[in-house]
Amino acid sequence: MIKKEILLKLNSMMKNTLMETLDIKYTDIGDDYLVATMPVNEKVYQPMGLLHGGASVALAESVGSTASHFFIDSEKFEVRGIEITANHLKSKREGIVTATARIIHKGKTTHLWEIRIVDEKGKLISLCKLTNIILSKT
């Protein structure tokens, strides 16, 4: 599949999910990374009108977990997030944030991802690490 077709397929799978609620969209893919965007608006605010850290974590886990699927045989295995950490470094009131998941460790049973969430100017908003476990479907 070419890159555009993969992104269309990923985005079509969002119906009735948290990713649809948060307006997360996959925008780019490469051999060792996946990129998604999320608008910063009232859907993702905390009470002070800022991007909620939990929304950032949901974006990070969405892009990192989805990216692990490109390294497994989905007929035989499935992906589950088992640990995520997040450092929220800068606040955001409006606009778009972009999350890029890059593989750090690709093992047979675990994948470790670094997810950088940046604003439109490339300034780091949150830095996350996600560990996924790869489970047999049988």
Catalytic residues: 61
16: left (phi over 0), alpha (psi -120 to 50) or beta: left
- Determine the 3-state secondary structure of 31 from DSSP: coil
Residue type, 11: N
Q: What is the 3-state secondary structure (H, E, C) of 51-86?
A: ECHHHHHHHHHHHHHHHHHHHCCCCCEEEEEEEEEE
d(CA 51, CA 40): 6
Residue 32 contacts residue 103 (beta carbons within 8 Å): yes
Token readout for 53 is: 């850290």
